[in-house]
């Protein structure tokens, strides 16, 4: 009987010692096992961890300023709208694609800084193609392209030049869209300035 008790207690002691930690610190406790594991720095800064910040709206860039020494050409509808806001005369350069002297005016006269500065300050400068421009409404009347032989001509160009179609031609309209006058042909810078000042 004593031998049985001795064997029983011996086996009980072995089972208790097997359930105890070994004391070398390699095991983690249950509480430590549930603690959050720090994420690497890249993951912490990603949108999966932090809510993504909304991008601030950037204002639209301002329109580019016209280059120095260049006339600020516009179409006739733009000029008429601008004239309502800030009245000043409208200068119209009436041209065609095939007109050689029109191209010389662009290259040698309108490109002069003195001419460009004066035109931008004192007029709304308009380029008007006498054979391709779209419909224009002025003074309650609509002007359009009409047949003229094998080509077309704009009825507004015909009206502004009194039917005397020759290019280049230059027309000045006052603040009430009434014609102040017109002149024609290639002009060097001094001659052009004299003519346009006369009609201003």
In angstroms and rounded to an integer, the radius of gyration of the C-alpha atoms of the chain is 44
Lowest-pLDDT range of 64-68, 104-108, 169-173, 191-195: 64-68
In the CATH hierarchy, which fold is given to the domain comprising 76-199? Glutaredoxin (3.40.30)
Report the Cα–Cα distance between both ends of the chain, in Å, rounded.
137
The domain ranges of the chain are 76-199
Instruction: Read off the pTM.
Output: 0.67
Q: Tell me if 126 sits within 8 A of 75, measured CB to CB.
A: yes
Q: Which two tokens stand for residue 171?
A: 């027309």
Determine the pLDDT at residue 67.
62
Q: Give yes or no for residue 65 having a pLDDT over 60.
A: no
Which residues, in sequence order, are CB contacts of 166 under 8 Å at separation 6+? Answer: 184, 185
Burial tier of 51 (Cβ tally within 10 Å: 0-12, 13-18, 19+): exposed
pLDDT, greater one: 29 or 198: 198
Determine the pLDDT at residue 62.
42
Determine the pLDDT at residue 139.
87
């Amino acid at each position: 009987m004593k031998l049985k008790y001795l064997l029983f207690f011996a086996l009980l002691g072995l089972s208790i010692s097997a359930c105890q930690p070994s004391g070398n610190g390699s095991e983690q406790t249950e509480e430590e096992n549930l603690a959050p594991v720090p994420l690497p720095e890249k993951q912490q800064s990603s949108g999966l961890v932090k809510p993504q910040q909304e991008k601030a709206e950037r204002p639209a860039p301002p329109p580019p300023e016209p280059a120095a020494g260049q006339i600020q050409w516009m179409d006739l509808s733009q000029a008429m709208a601008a004239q309502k806001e800030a009245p000043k005369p409208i200068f119209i350069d009436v041209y065609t694609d095939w007109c050689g002297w029109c191209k010389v005016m662009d290259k040698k006269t309108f490109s002069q800084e003195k001419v460009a500065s004066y035109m931008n300050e004192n007029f709304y400068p308009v380029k008007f193609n006498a054979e391709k421009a779209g419909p224009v409404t002025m003074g309650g009347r609509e002007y359009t392209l009409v047949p003229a032989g094998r080509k077309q001509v704009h009825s507004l160009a015909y009206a502004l030049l009194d039917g005397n179609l020759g290019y280049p031609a230059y027309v000045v309209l006052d603040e009430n869209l009434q014609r102040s006058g017109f002149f024609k042909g290639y002009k060097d810078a001094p001659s052009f300035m004299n003519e346009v000042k006369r009609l201003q």
